[in-house]
Amino acid sequence: MVKSELIQRSPLRILEKSINGGLGKGNIAFVASKKGVGKTACLVHIATDKLFRERNVIHVSFSKRTDHIISWYEDIFNEISKKRNLENALSIHDEIIRNRVIMNFNQKDIDITQILKSLEAMIVGGNFKADAVIVDGFEIEQMSFDGLKKVKEFAKKLDLEVWVSASLKKNDLTFDENGIPYELADLLEVIDVLITLKYDEKNIRMDVVKDRDEIISQERHLFLDPKTLLIMESETL
């Protein structure tokens, strides 16, 4: 399969359809689940799809090891290439990683304002015109409403879309009757798109539960393959 066909047939086109054509610049999406369900893999799949489409991506990690994040990108790329029998996979791999920057921070030693200054220095001063920022591993209990508003203002100012992972800590009563995580209730007004991941029998279900001003009443979901953690092509829209 050639790259253009791979892009067209990606399950990310289904996700875009489910959120009215995609997240869009100046907007923030949260991918929320309990730890270990597949948030990082999901975000890396979203980022890799953007790289295939020649978009520039900054991956902000709060992991202690950046090689862990690089390994996720390699694994996701290899799984997509193998599944789709991608032609010229090696040259495409070398081409797309030039459009990716990984930035690593220690959350204990830095605040939102400092992170945004570092990102702006990379985008403006470093002349890396990013289209999307992936924020992975930030402790959501340290994210305030005002802090997230700053992120949204930053996204609008620099014409970015921002995807954030949210690791849910509560064991009981994690979600309300609409599927909204209780831990994100105070931030909901600033979140444009909210997606949750949950184990569902053999697969991991990926539900869109908020899309801009709409709390989704009907089911809109995809699934993650529990072995590869790739977003699968089945849909309910």
pLDDT tens-place string over residues 147-185: 999 999 999 999 999 999 999 986 666 888 888 999 999
* Sequence-distant (≥ 6) Cβ neighbours of residue 142 within 8 angstroms: 107
Q: Which of 113, 106, 121 is nearest to 60 (CA)?
A: 106
The DSSP output letter for 88 is: T
Residue 107 confidence (pLDDT):
80
pLDDT band at 188 (very low <50, low <70, confident <90, very high): very high
Residue 54 DSSP one-character state: T
d(C-alpha 69, C-alpha 74), whole Å? 9
* The pLDDT of residue 131 is above 50: yes
Mean pLDDT score of the chain, rounded to an integer?
Answer: 90
pLDDT at 237 over 50: no
DSSP H or E run through 77: helix 66-84
Helix (H) or strand (E) holding 155: helix 145-157
Q: How far apart are CA 82 and CA 92, in angstroms?
A: 13
Mean pLDDT across 201-209: 87
Q: What share of the chain is helix, strand, coil (3-state, %, to 5)?
A: 40, 25, 35
For Cα atoms 179, 17, 48, give the angle at the middle one, nearest 5 degrees. Answer: 90
List 215's β-bridge partners, or say none.
210
Q: Is the pLDDT of residue 221 over 90?
A: no
Closest CA to 73 of 103, 104, 54, 49: 49
In whole angstroms, what is the distance from residue 177 CA to residue 10 CA?
31
**According to the model, what pLDDT value does residue 173 have?**
67
Chain-centre distance for alpha carbon 200 = 20
**Where is pLDDT greater, at 110 or 155?**
155
User: CB-based burial of residue 149 (10 Å sphere; 0-12 exposed, 13-18 middle, 19+ buried)?
Assistant: middle
The average pLDDT across 83-106 equals 94
